[in-house]
Each structure stands twice: as C-alpha cells, then as structure tokens.
Amino acid sequence: MKSTLPLQSQISLITGASSGIGEQFAIQLAQLGSDLILAARRVDRLETLANTLRAQYGVSVTCIPCDLSTPQAAKVLFATATEEGRKITFLVNNAGLGRYGSFIDFPYADHHSTLQVNMLAPTELTYLFVKHMLDHGKKSYLIQVASIAAFQPVGFFSIYSATKGYLRYFSETLAFELRKTPIRVMCLCPGGTYTEFFEHSGQKITRSGAATMMSAQQVVQMSLDALWKGKTVFVPGLLNKLACFLPRLIPRELALDLAFITMNRAVERVSLLPASPASPLNANNHSSDK
C-alpha cells in the first residue's frame, strides 16, 4: 500500500535556502513530501541542493534567484512563485543577516539592506502570500525566522535586534488576526546556531559560545514539531528559553548589560570595519587611547 507523507502535493517556499537554517527547512520539508520553491542570491547552491532533494525524495524543486535587499524583490518573487497557478501552502521567511558592531561604524547602506531583508521583504511576502493562501483556502503555514534577540536587544547588534523584535510582534499579532482562518503563523526564535551567519555578521564563536550552540538540523526539527503543536512563538533549547525569560525579571538597563557581557563571551568581533573610539568591541581601543 502506498503511504502518504504529511505534506505530499503541497508547495513550500523558503527564502534564504542556500545555507544554514533555510537549507535545513528545505531538507526537512522535502522529507515530509513537500514540493519546494527555493529562493536566495546564490542560485548555484540552490541548484545543487535541489538536485539532491529531487533525487533523494522525489519532490519537485524550483529555484528562484532573488536579492531581497532590493525593493522590488518580494513582488517579483511572489509573481514567479505563483506562476502556472501554483498554490503555495507553506512559507518560511528565513533569509536574514546581521552586522555586529557599533551602529555608527557601518555605512548606512548596510543598515538599509538589513532592514530590507530582515523586515520589509518578509512583511511584503507575508502580505502577498497570506492573501494568496486565503484565496486558495487550503490549510497553510507561515514561519517567520526571528531570533532570541527578539526578546532581549543586544548592544552592538542594534539594527539586527530591532528587526527581529519587529518580526516577533508582527507574527504574534498576525497569528491572532488569522486564528479563525486556515493559516497557522509561528515565529521561530533560535539562539546561536551553527551556520554561515557568523561569517557574514563579523563574529567568531568562542569556546564558551560553542558550548551553547545548536545545529540547524535540531533547530528546524524542533520548530516543525512546535508548529504541528500549534505554538505561535517558539524558542528552541532550554538555555535559549532561559535567555528569553530571565530578562523579564530584571530592570531593562541591567538586562542590556548582561546581554552585552554574554554576547562578548560567546563571540569575538572579527569585522575589518574600523571601530569607533567609543566602541568597547574595539580590541585596540585602550592602547590607541594612551
């Protein structure tokens, strides 16, 4: 007898599927039988992943090259994804980036890109796909990938924390607004996860940071379990849960100090950008002040 997988004949769209957490979503949704649409800038990596998933799981995979830092990208991605009457039933707004360092040390264009990719693109994709899902009326899922920084802002990660906080508020309210529709919304808030994120953010994981890291495979598996259980906000891992809960019990200024100390223990800044004189992240700060 032929067995049916839970997401057979469904189509899932994953942004940022070329590495890390997005790539794991692609693998695990394919294992559940879903056809896939994968979006990112590095289309060569998407194609390699697509070939593996087609061969291993027999799913159909479409790759769409897409730079979400450009203002038209969300509209174009939506139009391409829904071509030929395709009905998307699972959207993972996963693409994201961060820049670790003092706000004023980065060119403003970097902040603009982060705002566009982490906040504006997922908002517009959510708008377009929620309407699309309501129109086709099938049971659908939407995951927004935020971070534990959505619970506790971290100094020298100001724009990143702010965008993730936005995603959490947005997801919680959207889940409430859509609770009587066939669409389930969940905000995934991972803590440190082994991916390429750190190479791009200008961070190097220290030995003590490594002790608290999770794998992308674990994060995605736990988050899909949480989604099936109907969670609206999900933080994978006990230490991460504590990191999100404890700051509620102490004054916000103290929480900011502790978040900065914890982050400084977990990662070193490796960016080549010059740090501002005021930045405690600048390793040469003290000697140059003398």
Ligand X SMILES: NC(=O)c1ccc[n+]([C@@H]2O[C@H](COP(=O)([O-])OP(=O)(O)OC[C@H]3O[C@@H](n4cnc5c(N)ncnc54)[C@H](OP(=O)(O)O)[C@@H]3O)[C@@H](O)[C@H]2O)c1
69 binds ligand X (CB under 6 A): yes
Q: In this chain, which of 95, 120, 162, 187 binds ligand X, going by CB under 6 A?
A: 95
40 binds ligand X (CB under 6 A): yes
- Whether 127 is a known active-site residue: answer no
Which three-class secondary structure state does DSSP give residue 22? helix
Q: Tell me, what DSSP letter sits at residue 156?
A: T
Instruction: Give the nearest distance from C-beta 4 to ligand X in angstroms.
Output: 30
152 binds ligand X (CB under 6 A): no
Going by C-alpha positions, the residue among 11, 56, 58 that lies closest to residue 38 is 11
Instruction: Give the nearest distance from C-beta 239 to ligand X in angstroms.
Output: 13
Q: In this chain, which of 66, 77, 226, 267 binds ligand X, going by CB under 6 A?
A: 66
Q: Distance (Å, rounded) from C-alpha 164 to C-alpha 286?
A: 32
33 CB-near residues (< 8 Å, 6+ apart): 4, 5, 6, 7, 8, 9, 10, 57, 59
Strands 183-188 and 140-145: parallel
Exactly one of 57, 141, 160, 166 is catalytic; which is it? 160
237 binds ligand X (CB under 6 A): no
97 binds ligand X (CB under 6 A): yes
Nearest to ligand X of 16, 153 (CB atom): 16
Nearest to ligand X of 219, 282 (CB atom): 219
Q: In this chain, which of 11, 91, 92, 117 binds ligand X, going by CB under 6 A?
A: 117
Nearest to ligand X of 16, 282 (CB atom): 16
Q: Distance (Å, rounded) from C-alpha 273 to C-alpha 165?
A: 26
What is the total residue count of the chain? 290
2 CB-near residues (< 8 Å, 6+ apart): none
75 binds ligand X (CB under 6 A): no
Q: What is the DSSP string of 209-241?
A: HHTT-EEHHHHHHHHHHHHHTT-SEE--SHHHH
185 binds ligand X (CB under 6 A): no
Element (H, E) at 100: none
**Phi, psi for residue 102 in degrees, rounded to 5:** -70, 135
Q: Which stretch in 99-107, 195-203, 253-261, 278-286 sits in contact with ligand X by CB under 6 A? A: 195-203
Q: In this chain, which of 126, 161, 193, 240 binds ligand X, going by CB under 6 A?
A: 193
Nearest to ligand X of 67, 110 (CB atom): 67
236 binds ligand X (CB under 6 A): no
Q: Distance (Å, rounded) from C-alpha 63 to C-alpha 24?
A: 15
Nearest to ligand X of 141, 282 (CB atom): 141
Give me the active site residues, please: 160
Which positions touch ligand X (CB under 6 A)? Answer: 16-22, 40-42, 66-69, 94-97, 117, 145, 147, 190, 192-193, 195-197, 200
